[in-house]
Structure 1
Amino acid sequence: MCLTMENKKIQRDHEVFTDGDEIINDSPIEQVRLSIPVRDDPTLPTLTFRTWVLGPITCSILAFLTQFFMYRQNYVNIPTSVVQMVLVFLGKLMAAKLPSEPVKVPGTTWSFSMNPGPFNIKEHVLLSILANTGLDSPYSILIMVVRKIFYKKYLNFWIGLLMALAIQLLGYGFAGIFMKFLVYNPYMWYPLTLLDVSFFRAVHEVEERPKRGISKLQFFLVVTVGSFAYAVIPNYFFPSISALSVVCWFWKHSVIAQLIGSGRNGFGIGSFTFDWSAISGYIGNPIAYPLSTIINTSVGFILFLYVICPIAYWTNSNNARHFPFNSLDLFDKNGQLYNISNIINENDLTFNQKGYESYSKLYISVVYLF
């Protein structure tokens, strides 16, 4: 962030560099200083014709695809990096093919250019923000879907629309309230955002390749091709390497061995994987997060899964030994899947206390108990 001040001063909480009358306020976080440029080019166009055309179109397409794939048993995730790379191609294609002559709006003196110049980094960032808003499905959609499919209750379109808008705007409201603490605070930083910034800089900044080395863009392309080639192996050719349980191999018919070694329904002791999505599924991307965060998450994971949960299971806390150790299902007192319709009033979908008392308490696996 650049500030112009008459009286130069040094702030103790982070470094300040002076350049003439301009004071450049840098971040106190080393990773941020190495990734985020502190200078801004105000001459770069932002709200261009490309932004207004590609932004809403990509957002609409991604919103449709996200909602469509959400109902699949095997959910198809569209990574943000894929969207960003597609936007590079589309933006540069429009910059190369669209005419640069001004276009006048009929009946007014206002005009605009369909091609104000090369596709720049600010346009790319704005397009990514607009497009990525379509990658998140509103939780209110799940409410309407559950009512329709499981309870045959149909919600009025306008009521559903207002509910979705209210829930989404509530989130934006909280974002504005905590902006001072979560965004403007220089000590609050988000490692995954640095990956996006590094990508934008690698694509748009002109960099000379060092002698006997590679540039950032070349390094990015090498990593992209390598990660794609590696992802194909566990996803298509050898899906079995996503979860290899050694203990289960040697004691195939032992219930205790399955409980200890199964990476799906047990403790997962002795299980390992070659699937990157499984590696980063719990702790996040180990390349992006700092070591302290990974250690913190790993210690919590070990204490929870290998200390607290086994103790609760073997002491039969909440009848834990009657049900699978790790399962998303809900169970009744007999170990069968819980029949929700027995405890819900059919007319208004409210809780039926008498039905609950006559049917069964609701039980969950010990992993989701704590």
Structure 2
Amino acid sequence: MADPANIVPTLDEKQSLSDASLEKRASDAGAVDDARMAKEVEEFEDRLQHDEAPDEEYLVQEAYEVAIKVLSNHDDPELPAVTFRTIILGLGFGAFGAVLAQIYYFKPQTLNVSALFLLVLSYWFGNAMHMIIPSGGIFRYLTPVPSTLPSPTHAPSVKEHVSIIIMSSTAATSATAIQVISVQDLYYDNQLNAGLAIFTLIGSQLIGYGFAGLLQDMLVRPTKCFWPGKISTANLFQALHFDNQMTSKRVRLFWTVFVVMFVWEIIPQWIFPLLTGISIFCLANNTNPIFRNVFGGASNNEGMGFLSWCLDWNLIGSDCLFNPLWLQINQNIGICLTYILMAGVYYGNVWRSKDFPFMSQAIFAEDGTQYNQTALLTNGKFDADKYATLGPAFFSGTNALYYVTSNLSLGATFTHVFFWHWQDIKPFLRSFNPWNKEEYVVHDPHWEKMKVYKQIPRWWYFVLLAGAFAIAQATNYEGHSGLPWWALIVLLIISFIMSLLFATLDATIGFREFNSSANGFYQMITSYLVPGDPIANLYGALYGQHPQGQCIAMLGDLKLGQYCKLAPILGTVVGAILNWVMMVTIIDANREALLSIAGTRLWSGQNAQSFNTNGISWGGLGPQMFGINGVYHMVPISLAIGVFLPLPFIAAWYIWPKSGFENFSTPIILQYSCYLSVGINTSVNPAMAIGLFSQWWVRTRYPRWFTKYNYIVAAALDGGTQVISFILNFAVFGASGTAHSFPEWWGNDLSLSADRCAPA
């Protein structure tokens, strides 16, 4: 059996190319003939080993082919996944990530703990442990290797490394439950005891894991479900562990690009912020508010960033390098509609838009001031008499448009997924029928390799789901959430259905923007189930969005494990405990700062305030704002309208089946039709250009380079950026206590926005 560290990369790639050709033929036949497959693999390998493969063998035509042309299918079943290193580094980085994520949640600048950041750190630490821990004597049990390897190495294996990242990345988040618990503590004087808080966290997470276990047969194992967001990560794992570290071009390219980005990102993020948003129009005229709204975008909620340019990869990100071409085309269509719709709503004064800021997520009174939401409540519930005194509440026009387009997208998702993916869903659903004797069969070269490992049976996930449901009902009742037991069941059913729909889109085309609108959707549903109760509304978002997010995240981790031939594992729950410990510590020490509007330079309650604001607006003002007589009654109606919007593309496909109408995705176009209503938007234009260059020009003109290096470059760009961003946040941006601004000059004028647009 060959040592993965000594395998030549091109052989792995050639093996993948062989499997790709065989898989295509096998899927056409509807079954895999193992004997024939083995023979043809040998023939293909012999031809490809002599570098006789034409460019056509490397060309990625269908999006899912990257999983079998870019990634190696090599596996050594005897390599251990759970070792001393796995446990120490997995728990260690899980604890580190969970603490860091919770600290970030209460900081003025909210950041996420990147999985790529943890991947690079764990690689360094794993190799450090390899050099420090002796390999002989009793220490051999700390770094076990298969005895069959001709040249055993005690360096961390790919399976150890993937296990560490799955364990640590699932813990390195600030869970939705923490938002609910912190809001109750800060604003409603309801401090949950430790046991209740931790079990609320664990229960909501395990429900998502149970969902994922039931859906994995359909959404993890097939080739068609290739999870584009996991390709570059899996490719990096294989390059670091399968390639010869001294001679591999892929590894050298990764570290070269990594170092270049590590150094470069200091310039736009700290020294020369103007590079985060270069707007010729704002540089020419920095007093015109129309120029700011249309061409600005380097500051939060500044403008749409039309024709502006960004040189900060921290804002651009590598999605444009690995998202499939048609996903990006649909996104780009939506963004083009964004410019038209946002400008039309605001300058057409729809919903009295001109009375409020162009972009804002706050709620306003009729006179344009911020609405006094807390004055609405009596004993934590909506008070009609106080509402009569305060008057109606309003959104900014672009924020209302975002709610409309998000609901249109959600409605369209039902029709789109069930029409285009029904042939995948139907046999999966039939597999739950105990009287159905047909086996749910999956043919995929990566999954074929996984069959040597013992799989977790489906009934185990049913048991997990039942236990998690019992925990959720118990903590929901003991926590005095105000959410009835039947409402919790309704929300969990909706969450499971939405998990199926959105995980299908993520798995097949890489569409992940659903998380941005999920909280609002579940809060809208809860406002109809339990009107007038903000706390119940927060719990509705918790038990809707959190299981859905955890489910989709775990499905992605399971696919990553399949790519790297890792037997199924569950992420650690150590993050839940540390999330709660850090939350209590920070709130107890900084309660006054977290409750203040501005906060301090070190601590801010902006995230908790925003979550509480959403709970009050949907839970307290839902019927008044979104009811049939409300200003924004089109928001819930849009959900029903969206169901019918995919029909024109479906009809066009029936009439002209070879015209490509099946490539247009109404949910994606609609979700991106108000994509620029929040945040920093100067990164959109370079991302569009880079995406078309990578996924069209390079993929079709230089297929060899694309399959070998595109995803490695994506990982290197993100890796170098995220490591230096972490260092900068603690060294100069104030995360450690003291901020150190770069000396002021023309490219770093602290009195102006980064792109020199007119002030808001």
* TM-score bracket, shorter-length normalisation: 0.7 to 0.9
Structure 2 contact 97–173 (Cα < 8 Å) conserved: no
**1:153-190 deviation per Cα after TM superposition (whole angstroms, max 9, x unaligned):** 32232222222122111221221232223212321112
Query: Is 1:230 the counterpart of 2:264 in the alignment?
Result: yes
- How far apart are 1:233 and its partner, in Å? 1.1
Match of 2:254 in 1: 220
1:274 aligned to which of 311, 314, 335? 311
- How far apart are 1:22 and its partner, in Å? 9.4
Query: Is 1:337 the counterpart of 2:370 in the alignment?
Result: yes
Query: Is 1:12 the counterpart of 2:28 in the alignment?
Result: yes
**Aligned in 2, Cα 1:114/1:216: closer, same or farther, shift over 3 Å?**
same
Match of 1:258 in 2: 292
C-alpha distance in structure 1 between counterparts of 2:350 and 2:293, whole Å:
17
C-alpha distance in structure 1 between counterparts of 2:260 and 2:392, whole Å:
51
C-alpha distance in structure 1 between counterparts of 2:364 and 2:172, whole Å:
33
Match of 1:193 in 2: 230
- Structure with more helix by fraction: 2
C-alpha distance in structure 2 between counterparts of 1:278 and 1:70, whole Å:
19
**Aligned in 2, Cα 1:205/1:267: closer, same or farther, shift over 3 Å?**
closer
**1:191-245 deviation per Cα after TM superposition (whole angstroms, max 9, x unaligned):** 22111111111111133888xxx61110101110122122111111112321233
C-alpha distance in structure 2 between counterparts of 1:14 and 1:251, whole Å:
63
TM-score by length of 1: 0.84
Query: Which residues of 2 match residues 4-43 of structure 1 at below 5 A?
Result: 10-12=26-28, 18-19=37-38, 29-43=64-78
Query: Is 1:134 the counterpart of 2:166 in the alignment?
Result: no
Structure 1 contact 265–327 (Cα < 8 Å) conserved: no
Query: Which residues of 2 match residues 1-370 of structure 1 at below 5 A?
Result: 10-12=26-28, 18-19=37-38, 29-100=64-135, 113-116=141-144, 117-207=154-244, 215-263=249-297, 264-280=301-317, 285-303=319-337, 305-345=338-378, 347=379, 349-370=380-401
Match of 1:108 in 2: none
SS in 2 for 1:299: helix
Match of 1:6 in 2: none
Structure 1 contact 330–338 (Cα < 8 Å) conserved: yes
C-alpha distance in structure 2 between counterparts of 1:15 and 1:95, whole Å:
44
SS in 2 for 1:227: helix
C-alpha distance in structure 2 between counterparts of 1:77 and 1:300, whole Å:
26
Structure 2 unaligned blocks of 5 or more: 1-15, 17-24, 43-59, 145-153, 402-760
C-alpha distance in structure 2 between counterparts of 1:35 and 1:150, whole Å:
51
- How far apart are 1:329 and its partner, in Å? 1.9
C-alpha distance in structure 1 between counterparts of 2:361 and 2:164, whole Å:
37
The residue type equivalent to 2:383 in the other structure is N
Structure 1 contact 313–320 (Cα < 8 Å) conserved: yes
- How far apart are 1:314 and its partner, in Å? 2.5
- How far apart are 1:67 and its partner, in Å? 0.6
Q: Which moved more, 1:87-96 or 1:264-273?
A: 264-273
C-alpha distance in structure 1 between counterparts of 2:304 and 2:90, whole Å:
45
Structure 1 contact 88–124 (Cα < 8 Å) conserved: yes
SS in 1 for 2:37: strand
Structure 1 contact 63–137 (Cα < 8 Å) conserved: yes
Match of 1:109 in 2: none
- How far apart are 1:141 and its partner, in Å? 0.5
- How far apart are 1:21 and its partner, in Å? 11
Structure 1 unaligned blocks of 5 or more: 2-8, 105-111
**Aligned in 2, Cα 1:365/1:225: closer, same or farther, shift over 3 Å?**
same
**Aligned in 2, Cα 1:92/1:270: closer, same or farther, shift over 3 Å?**
closer
SS in 2 for 1:12: helix
- How far apart are 1:138 and its partner, in Å? 0.7
Q: Which moved more, 1:10-19 or 1:117-126?
A: 10-19
C-alpha distance in structure 2 between counterparts of 1:350 and 1:246, whole Å:
50
The residue type equivalent to 1:119 in the other structure is P
Greater relative contact order structure (CA < 8 Å, 6+ sep): 2
Structure 2 contact 359–398 (Cα < 8 Å) conserved: yes
C-alpha distance in structure 1 between counterparts of 2:182 and 2:220, whole Å:
34
Structure 1 contact 51–126 (Cα < 8 Å) conserved: yes
C-alpha distance in structure 1 between counterparts of 2:322 and 2:394, whole Å:
38
- How far apart are 1:13 and its partner, in Å? 6.6
- How far apart are 1:90 and its partner, in Å? 1.8
**Aligned in 2, Cα 1:361/1:184: closer, same or farther, shift over 3 Å?**
farther
C-alpha distance in structure 2 between counterparts of 1:278 and 1:367, whole Å:
22
C-alpha distance in structure 2 between counterparts of 1:321 and 1:333, whole Å:
12
Structure 1 contact 66–134 (Cα < 8 Å) conserved: no
**Aligned in 2, Cα 1:332/1:47: closer, same or farther, shift over 3 Å?**
same
Structure 2 contact 320–328 (Cα < 8 Å) conserved: yes
**1:15-44 deviation per Cα after TM superposition (whole angstroms, max 9, x unaligned):** 967225999xxx983211122222321121
Count, aligned residues: 346
TM-score by length of 2: 0.42
The residue type equivalent to 1:12 in the other structure is D
**1:255-299 deviation per Cα after TM superposition (whole angstroms, max 9, x unaligned):** 33333332242333343222223334xxx6211212221111111
Structure 2 contact 96–172 (Cα < 8 Å) conserved: no
**1:115-145 deviation per Cα after TM superposition (whole angstroms, max 9, x unaligned):** 2133211111111111111222110101121
The residue type equivalent to 1:114 in the other structure is L
The residue type equivalent to 2:81 in the other structure is T
C-alpha distance in structure 2 between counterparts of 1:302 and 1:209, whole Å:
46
Structure 2 contact 67–223 (Cα < 8 Å) conserved: no
**Aligned in 2, Cα 1:189/1:366: closer, same or farther, shift over 3 Å?**
farther
SS in 1 for 2:88: helix
Structure 1 contact 259–266 (Cα < 8 Å) conserved: yes
**Aligned in 2, Cα 1:181/1:333: closer, same or farther, shift over 3 Å?**
farther
Structure 1 contact 245–261 (Cα < 8 Å) conserved: yes
